Amino acid sequence: MKVTRQCVVARIAFLVGSLLLVLAAGCSLEKCTVHDSEHKQFHEAHEAAVGEHLAEEASGHEAEKEVWVANDFCIACHYGFDEEKLAARHKQAGIGCERCHGESERHRSDEDNVTPPEIMYPRDKINPTCMMCHPRHEIQHVAHHEKLLAGARTALDSTSQSHGHGLYCTSCHAKEHRINVRTIRWNKATGELLDE
C-alpha cells in the first residue's frame, strides 16, 4: 500500500507541476504576444518616420541629385548635346539618349559613320513617341498644346493622320535637339543611306 500511496503522490505532484508549467508558459506566451505587438508597432512607426524623412530629404535635394545615364557614349561625337535643354532635362529625370534613340552600339562603333542609329524619327512618329511618356492627360491642360493635340485620338495616331497643322512636340521642346551640320543623311523611316 505504501507503494500505491507514493505513486498517487508522485502522480499528483507531476500533475500539479505540469499545470504550473502550462500556466507559466501561457503567461510567458501572453507577454511575448503583447511584447511582439508593441515591438511591431514601434518598428512600423519608426519605418514610417524614416520614410517621411527620406521623402522630405529627397524633395529638398532634388536639384542636387546627380543621375548617371549613358549619354557619354553619344556625347563623344555629338558634343554639345549634354548642355542642350531637352537632353539635360531628360538626364535629370534619369532618361538618357538610349531611351529614345536605342542603344545604337553599331552606330557609335562605326568610324566611317554610315551605320544609322537604331531609332530615328520621321515626322509622323515624333508626337506619338513623345506621348508614350507624356500622355495627353498630362499635357492637355497647357494652352499651347491645344493645336498640337487637335484631332489626336490616341498617342499612337500618326501626325499625318491627326495633325494637319504640322506641329510637332519638337517644334517647341527641342529646337536645339538637331544636328545642324550633317555629313551624312539616312532615311529616318528605313535607315537607308541617302545620297547627298
pLDDT band at 162 (very low <50, low <70, confident <90, very high): very low
The average pLDDT across 3-20 equals 74
pLDDT band at 164 (very low <50, low <70, confident <90, very high): very low
SS3 call for 185: strand
How much of the chain, in percent, has pLDDT values that exceed 90?
10
Please state, in angstroms and rounded to a whole number, the distance separating the CA atoms of residues 90 and 107: 22
Please state, in angstroms and rounded to a whole number, the distance separating the CA atoms of residues 148 and 163: 7
- Which three three-digit cell numbers place residue 20? 504550473
Whether 82 has a pLDDT exceeding 50, the answer reads yes
pLDDT band at 165 (very low <50, low <70, confident <90, very high): low
Please state whether 151 falls in left (phi above 0), alpha (psi between -120 and 50) or beta.
left
Which pTM was predicted?
A: 0.57
What are the pLDDT digits (tens) for 101-134? 998 889 989 988 899 999 999 988 888 899 899 9
Q: Mean pLDDT in the chain?
A: 75
Find all residues with CB under 8 Å of 151, minimum gap 6, and list them. 157, 162, 163, 164
Whether 161 has a pLDDT exceeding 60, the answer reads no
Whether 46 has a pLDDT exceeding 70, the answer reads no
